[in-house]
Amino acid sequence: MKPQPHWRRPIFFALFTFVTVCSIGWTRSSHAADTTTPPNIVMLISDDQAWGDYSFMGHDAIQTPNLDRLAKQSVLFRRGYVPTALCRPSLLTLINGRYASQHGVTGNDPSPKYSKPGTPENNQQRAQLISYLDRFPTVPQILGRDGYLSMQSGKWWEGNYKHGGFTHGMTRGFPQPGGRHGDDGLKIGREGMQPVTEFIDMAVEEKKPFYLWYAPFLPHTPHNPPKRLLDKYTQAGRPPSVAKYYAMCDWFDETCGQVIDHLDAKGLRENTLIVYVTDNGWIQDPNSSRYAARSKQTPYEGGIRTPIMFSWPGKLKPAERDELCSSLDIVPTVLAAAGAELPAGLPGLNLMPEMTSGEKIDRQRIFGESFAHDIADIENPEASLLYRWCIEGRWKLLLTYDGEVNRYQTTHPRTERRPQLFDLIADPAEEKNLAAENPAVVKRLADAIEAWYPVTQRKTQTTF
């Protein structure tokens, strides 16, 4: 073979190097673009459901196949909690990441003792409560700065959906007719899923990342499930009210499956972060359509505990975590996942580093508070304060306060005025108060509660 001239060799190697570098550079750029594409974010929010009322949480009757599947695809916190066991303050925490005592909406409605519903004074108080949303930036507002589309569907108390920063939505809001807590938004799930699927399709068409707030009025009362589901849970010895509630949990699960299946069909699941949480707990009264004691509105496990899930197939490896998780952690975690700037002063934790690395969460305790359903004084959260609480490992301390008790407190009267200390591992039903036997634990947790949220007006009994 005839030898090649020496001058060709440098040119050959230069060309080879150029092509190789360009190829590597293109590959890295493409990979970087894929990994930095902001995820879609979907909030699945149950409304009035006990923490154990799922198949994957061990319930022996309620069937939740879609949420079971999601749990297997998630970083699952079985010991998840909401800081306030009432829907409106709990939902507001999910949209701005603050405690009720911080954002100011501690209950669902102004007290009718001071202004009757429908009067100008009552309407003014409702408008003032809605204005408290402006105190802190919301997730849709923050994500909107980075090009996200967002949609509100389901429960929404804070006026028109646009007030929350959503680009799209269903709720017209107060003062429109039926605008107290959702109006047209409450149709989602119960009357089909078309608004949600159309929003997802539109976002795909526009090639925009999206944030979906799916907070259906399920399994919330009225418990009127489809007959096919009610028949599934109706059996001898099971009270009709319980069968209806079980069927409602199943119905909610079906609708969550429809959302997830649509994401799959659109090829979006790999880069979609799905977050699951319940706004507050519910224990069905077997003798009526209402909730039983120690559930909704209370700081007992039946009121504040919920599974919390984060599912992002392209980023998070499924795992079960045994640490405590608060719904306050959802806002900073979602914003961090989207690469958005976190507002200063968020009390929750960004869990993305621990969920991706598998390391333990560096936190000793979580805190919460309970207020009356009706707000005694919309400018003074302490006027309605009933409990402050703290969980540290296995220990849970409840401190009771003398805030105004209103018409909605009759189902769970505050008969226990002393500090209540429970060992949640040995006694998850909170049947035995161990405060008298563990004064050092009570003092440590009470001091931590006081450092977290100092109370200046309300009084509590500190003796055993």
Helix (H) or strand (E) run with residue 204 in it: helix 194-206
196 band by pLDDT with thresholds 50, 70 and 90: very high
- Candidates 127, 215, 129, 99; CA nearest to 166 is 215
Residues 323-358 pLDDT 10s: 999 999 999 999 999 999 999 999 999 999 999 999
Band the pLDDT of 174: cuts 50, 70, 90: very high
CB atoms within 10 A of CB 414: 15
The model's pLDDT over 387-423, given as tens digits with 9 standing for 90+, comes to 999 999 999 999 998 655 555 544 444 446 689 999 9
Residue of 311, 302, 337, 307 whose CA lies nearest to 322: 307
Burial 31-48 (b: 16+ CB within 10 A, else e): eeeeeeebbbbbbbbbbb
What domains can be seen in the chain, in order of their start residue? 38-357 (3.40.720.10), 374-452 (3.30.1120.10)
pTM for the whole structure: 0.90
Cα-based angle 112, 122, 98 (whole degrees, multiple of 5): 90
Task: Give the count of alpha carbons within 13 A of 429, CB side only.
Answer: 4
Quote the mean pLDDT of the chain.
Answer: 90
CB 229, CB 251: distance < 8 Å: yes
pLDDT of residue 31: 28
Which of 111-120, 155-164, 442-451 bottoms out in mean pLDDT, i.e. has the lowest? 111-120
Check whether 26 has a pLDDT greater than 60: no
Structure-block tokens of residue 327:
């719904």
* Cβ atoms of residues 64 and 46 within 8 Å: no
- Strands (DSSP E) contained in 303-439 are 305-311, 319-321, 325-326, 365-371, 374-375, 385-392, 395-400, 420-423
* Chain centre distance of CA 4: 71
Is the pLDDT score of 218 beyond 60?
yes
